[in-house]
Amino acid sequence: MTGSPRLAGRTALVFGGGGGTDGATNGQAAAVTYARHGASVAVVDVNREAAQHTVEAILAEGGAATAITADVTDGDQVAEAVDRATEAFGPADVLHNNVGVTVLGGPMELSLEEWRRAFALNVDGVFLACKHVLPAMLDRGSGAIVNVSSLAALRHVGYEYPAYMSAKAAVNQATVSLALTYAERGIRANSVAPGFIETPLVRQQLASQAGSIDELMAARHAASPTGRMGTPWDVAHASLFLASDEAAYVNGVCLPVDGGLAMTCAPS
């Protein structure tokens, strides 16, 4: 494995860590990055094949990983996933909550079911994972939680998705609550807020919109102050910092990974 062992001897539990053959996802990049820095990684995804794809990428580099299938909106499945990860590698030292979904449409277009789905996938998953991971962290008096939020939780980024924006804002405040509730017991909780990141899912979503996908992608690149979108590895490296001892005194923050977009006056 490459890289210094910043997480040597630790277990990382990554929910939403599956990947595919058309480029790294945010979850896959996080799982691989944790493994490259010494962690044994339990990769959880609703899609067994996607979880296994990430595991194979880790194993190919000499790391330790196992694939687990679970729906993060189902408490029993989350509890079982945590138990299986613990059986494989021991209790989680790092909990990484990556599962999320964008739900487009305003209040007049969205159904109540779609609104609730946004919160179930983006917020309930964080709640359930923490519910079942925290007891072991508290027993050991240590642990790092990294929740994947979004720049959309902090500002409008040009898309009409109030359900997604609200859900990710809830993730941020849940993170703050976790951080302050358990700080004295050795547990840290932080979130990362990706801006425009080039992922296979983004391409898939843009393909369903009107217009040329190349033009739509070019517009997203141009919206960043850097002139380019970020990559899943940018998000993963920020997550690694927050999960590591180098961030031992960093707690309750929401770290934008956006090339500076949050600091601009208005979305492009």
In contact, 170 and 152? CB cutoff 8 Å: no
Q: What is the pLDDT of residue 210?
A: 56
Smallest Cα–Cα separation from 164: which of 251, 236, 75, 99?
A: 99
Q: DSSP labels for the chain?
A: --S--TTTT-EEEEET----SSS--HHHHHHHHHHHTT-EEEEEESSHHHHHHHHHHHHHTT--EEEEE--TT-HHHHHHHHHHHHHHH-S-SEEEE---------TTTS-HHHHHHHHIIIIIHHHHHHHHHHHHHHHHT-EEEEEE--GGGTS--S---HHHHHHHHHHHHHHHHHHHHHGGGTEEEEEEEE-SB--HHHHHHHHTSSS-HHHHHHHHHHHSTTSS-B-HHHHHHHHHHHHSGGGTT--S-EEEESTTGGGSSS--
Q: At what angle do helices 232-243 and 26-36 cross, to 10 degrees?
A: 50
pLDDT at 204: 65
Parse the chain into domains and list their residue ranges: 11-195+231-253, 199-229
Average pLDDT value over all residues in the chain: 91
Give the integer Cα–Cα distance in Å for 97 and 27.
9
- Which of 34, 164, 182, 249 is labelled catalytic? 164
164 is catalytic: yes
Single-letter residue type at 194: P
Q: 11-195+231-253, what's its fold?
A: Rossmann fold (3.40.50)
Q: How high is the pLDDT of residue 208? A: 58
Low-confidence ranges of the chain (pLDDT < 70): 1-4, 201-211, 266-268
Max CA-CA distance within the chain? 54
pLDDT at 268: 47
For the entire predicted model, the pTM comes to: 0.92
Q: What is the pLDDT of residue 203?
A: 65
CA atoms of 254 and 151, how far apart (whole Å): 10
Q: Dump pLDDT digits (tens) for 126-168.
A: 999 999 999 999 999 999 999 999 998 888 877 788 999 999 9
Which residues sit opposite 148 in a β-bridge?
192
pLDDT of residue 155: 81
Given this model, what pLDDT does residue 211 score?
A: 65
